[in-house]
Structures are given as structure tokens and as C-alpha cells.
Amino acid sequence: MTFKFHAAALGLTALLAFAGNAHAQTKIIGGIAAYNEALLPVYVAEDKGYFKDAGIALELTNFKGGGPTVQALVSGSIQICFCAADHVVRLRSRRQPAVILVGLDTFHSYALIAKASAPYKDLASLKGKRIGITSPGSLTDNTLRYAIKELKLSPERDFEIAGAGAGSAMKAAIDSGQIDAGLVILTEIAALLKEPNAYKVVVDYRHLPYPSYAALALESWVKDNPTVAKGFTKALGKAIADVEKDPELARKTIAKMYPNFSPELVAEVAKSAVERMPKGGIVTEESIKNLNDILIAADSSLKPVTLQEAFDPAMLKD
């Protein structure tokens, strides 16, 4: 089996393709809502040959935020959504039930970033300003609307919310003044804060228990492809177990994922990835509660989901 491995940080295209004998492998296309360190187990599973062993050829492609990634999932153009678990709630409310196959991050993965010279100290100080999200309907959109409402303010009247994309697109929007602040994901925050006196964190959501990154699939696809879904899930479970046992594996893989990062930044990102990775890929009750709270505050038409509806840990077991 041969494969192509192209991965770039800060919003550049990430493509991971496996090619093998047609009779031996089932192709799965995974859509990436935001490229970040939570994808570590995916690359470990590839390097270890766990997908190949499960008879799976995985191809990854980048999208500009969770909204368009989920649209691709619903349309059938991708089978796996690497994105926030928020979309399980939204899709179930639309009678297109989705499930979490594997948890990849146990905490919220974004912070609100602005130029270091900007006067903003908190979200309230940005009233009347333009704030960047990755895309409408994404984790960034939901979080921002929830936080604004917690201040007893209106997302529509008191702020301007603008889709700015992720990675280099979000950075460019902040740098050019197109937005006054923007929601930036983990790995990119680490890189931006390495630039002396360039950026600052205005609001940090990164310590909130939240299923901010997971491998999602439509329930119908799982039922129609039980062997493939189980093989995919177990491959990631094995990779997570490997990283839990060997943190050095995380450092080596992050260095491969981000070839332009300095050794110091690689070490920092790898440490964060290991600390934030859900033990065994298991999603927690607390994180689902926080997910429901944020989503329903942002959109009262949505119905909460239970942990049992959203996630089946048996998929990770033999």
C-alpha cells in the first residue's frame, strides 16, 4: 500500500490519502472542520497501519469551518466529520441523527484573540465591534452567541458576527482590521502567541469541558456499514492508547504534522494534545451537558441530547 501525506498548519490544506488494492480496502472520506493538534490520533493510526489493518483507505480534506463540513456529511460527499460534537445536536434536531464515534478533545478548543495593541479586555468591551467566527453554525458561532447572551446582550444588535474562516484566513482578518477580534483554535493560538507583542487572548474558553473535536458520522451510515465504522473507530482507539503510553510518539507526530514549527513549539503543542485527549476516546457526561447548555442558549429551537444518544463507547471495544 502506498500513500500521500501532505499536512500544513494554520489553515493550509491537509490531505492524507491511502491507496491500496480495491478489493481489500473501503474508501472513507473525512472532512476536517479545523486542522489542529486534536487530529494527532488520526496521523498515528495512519503511521501505525491501523486503518490499513481494518481494510480502510482514508482520505482527508479541509473545509472552512464546521458548517460546510456538516453540509458535506449530510450530502454524502464525506463519511466522517472531524469537527465539534455540536453538530450531533443540530442534526438530530433536523431528523438526520449523527453520532460521535470517537472523542478527540475533551475541552473547548478556542479562544478570542485580538491584536496586542487593541484595548479590549473582555467580550463586553467588544460591544459594537466585529468579531470573527470560522463559519455560521460552527462551534465558534455557537460559543460566541452563548457568551453574548450570558452578558444579557444581543448577538444581532450589539455585535457584528462575521465568518472569517480558519487558520491563515482568520489571522489575516485580524491583521488587516477586517475584524476586531476572532475565535482562533488551539494550535494556531500557540503559534500566534509566540510572536512578540503581536496578539493577546481576550477571552479563553480552552479549559471548559466540552467535546470540541470528535469523529462524527451519520447514524444511518454506521448502521449500513457496521464493520467499516467499527474498524475505523477501533483504529483511532488503538492510536489514542499508543499516545497515552508514549508521549514521545505525540512529539514525533506533531513534528510531522507541523514541519515548520520550531522544536520548542512542537513540544508545547504535543504536550497540549496529550493532556487534552480524552482517555480512551471516551466522551464524558459533563462535556455533553456543557454542549447542550451552550447550543440551546444560542438556539432555543434545538433539543438537548443525552450522552447515550450521542455516543456509544461499545464502538471502541472488541
pLDDT at residue 7, rounded to an integer:
40
Give the pLDDT confidence of 70-102 residue by residue, as tens digits.
999 999 999 999 999 999 999 999 999 999 999
pLDDT at residue 260, rounded to an integer:
94
What is d(CA 138, CA 191) in angstroms, rounded to the nearest whole number? 22
What is d(CA 27, CA 56) in angstroms, rounded to the nearest whole number? 6
2-108+209-316 matches 110-204 in fold: yes
Judged against a pLDDT cut of 70, whether residue 169 lies above it is answered with: yes
Give the pLDDT confidence of 112-131 residue by residue, as tens digits.
999 999 999 999 999 999 99
Nearest to 187 by CA among 115, 255, 244: 255
Residue 182 in grid coordinates: 476572532
What is d(CA 309, CA 307) in angstroms, rounded to the nearest whole number? 5
DSSP class of 278: P
Quick one: CATH architecture of 2-108+209-316?
A: 3-Layer(aba) Sandwich (3.40)
Tell me the CB-side half-sphere exposure of residue 59, using CA atoms within 13 A.
Answer: 12
The full set of domain ranges for the chain reads 2-108+209-316, 110-204
| Residue 15 banded pLDDT, cuts 50, 70, 90 | very low
Q: What are phi and psi of 303, to 5 degrees?
A: -110, 140
DSSP class of 279: G
CB 86 within 8 A of CB 92: no
* 56-62 and 80-83 strand pairing: unpaired
What is d(CA 13, CA 265) in angstroms, rounded to the nearest whole number? 20
* Homologous superfamily assigned to 110-204: Periplasmic binding protein-like II (3.40.190.10)
What is d(CA 106, CA 89) in angstroms, rounded to the nearest whole number? 17
